[in-house]
Amino acid sequence: MVRANKLRRWLIVLTALVGAITCGPSALADGVDVGKPSRLRNLVPASGLEKQAAQEYAQLKAQAAKQHALGPDNHPQVKRLRAIAARIIPFAGRFNPNASHWKWEINLIGSKQINAFCMPGGKIAFYSGILDTLKLSDDEVAMVMGHEIAHALREHARERAAKSQVTRLGATLLGELLGGGGYTSALQIGGNLLSLKFSRDDESEADIVGLDLAARAGFDPRAGVSLWQKMMAANSRAPLEFLSTHPGGDGRIKKIEKHLPQVMPLYQKARKSR
C-alpha cells in the first residue's frame, strides 16, 4: 500500500511536469519567431545557474591569465569582439527580458581551439583559434556570437538541466515499477542518451535567433552560410572540437538559407539607420 501511494504521487508529479512543457506561441511583429521557451526550465532557478556560470567563467579567466592567455583590454581582437557585442546585446531583450540585468562579459582566450561560447547570464568567450584559423570577417564573428548569445537568451542550459531532472525522476519511477528500484541506474543512462536530441534542436534554434540578432545589429546574415562553409572546409582537414557540440553540414546551411528572407529586411533596415 505504501509503495502504491508513493508511485501514485510520482505519477501526479510527472503529469504536471509534462503539462508544463507546452508553450503558447509568441507574438513577434517581425524577424524570426521560435515561440516561447519551454516552461519546463522553471524547475531550475535561473539565479542559481547564472551564479554557477559566473563562478566557472571567473575560474576560466583566472586560469587563462595565469597562463598569459587572457587577452588584455587593449588587444585589437578583444576590442573587435566587444565592439561587435556592443551592437548585438541591445537587441537581446527581444528574446529574454532578463538579459538587460545581466552582467555581460566578453573576453578572448589565446588557444588554437576553434570554439566560442556564451554562458547563462551573458558570459562570452572566444578562443583565438576560431578567429585566426577561419579568418572570420566581422559579419561571420557576429554570426558566431549571435548564435552563442542565443543559447543563453533561450536558456538552453537551464532547460537541459530541467529535462535531466525529469529524466531522473522518470527513471526512478520506472525502476520502482519494474523492480523496486533495481533498474533505476540503467534507465537513467537510457534517458540521458535520449535527451541528446534536445541539443540538436537547441543548435537549430540558436542559429535562427542568432541570425535575427546579428541582422538587427547591422551584420549581414548571409555570413551564416559562409561561416559554416568555412567550418566544413576546416573540418575536412582535421576534426573540429566545435563541431562535436555544434552539428554542421549542408542541412544546417539550408536551414539558415531558409530563414534569410525573414532577417534580410532587418539587416537592410539596420544598414540604412547606421
pLDDT at 273: 85
With 0.85 as the threshold, say if the pTM is over it: no
Which H/E stretch holds residue 106? Answer: strand 105-109
CA dihedral 244, 249, 251, 253 (to 10 degrees): 110
Residue 12 in any domain: the answer is no
- Condensed to tens digits (0 to 9), the pLDDT of residues 75-108 reads 999 999 999 999 999 999 999 999 999 999 999 9
Nearest to 228 by CA among 256, 201, 202: 256
Cell 539596420 maps to which residue?
Answer: 270
- Condensed to tens digits (0 to 9), the pLDDT of residues 224-256 reads 999 999 988 887 765 555 555 555 667 789 999
pLDDT at 125: 96
Residue 25 in any domain: the answer is no
Residue 13 in any domain: the answer is no
**SS3 for 64?**
helix
Residue 100 in any domain: the answer is yes
Tell me what the pLDDT averaged over the chain comes to.
79
Phi/psi of residue 108, each to 5°? -115, 130
Written as nine digits, the cell of 117 is 561560447
Backbone CA torsion sign across 194, 198, 204, 206:
negative
Which of 142-146, 155-159, 191-195 has the highest average model confidence (pLDDT)?
142-146
pLDDT at 234: 80
Nearest to 165 by CA among 49, 266, 244: 49
Give the Cβ contact number of residue 87 at 10 Å.
19
Written as nine digits, the cell of 270 is 539596420
pLDDT at 173: 44
Residue 178 in any domain: the answer is yes
- Total structural domains in the chain? 1
Residue 251 in any domain: the answer is yes
The residue count for the chain:
274
b (16+ CB within 10 A) / e for 140-158: bbbbbbbbbbbbbbbbbbb
Residue 7 in any domain: the answer is no
**SS3 for 68?**
coil
Tell me which DSSP letter residue 155 carries.
T
Domain, as residue range, for 184: 43-273
Catalytic residue among 50, 105, 140, 148: 148
pLDDT at 103: 96
**Active-site residue flag, 148:** yes
Residue 5 in any domain: the answer is no
Give the Cβ contact number of residue 181 at 10 Å.
13
Written as nine digits, the cell of 272 is 540604412
Backbone CA torsion sign across 202, 208, 212, 213:
positive
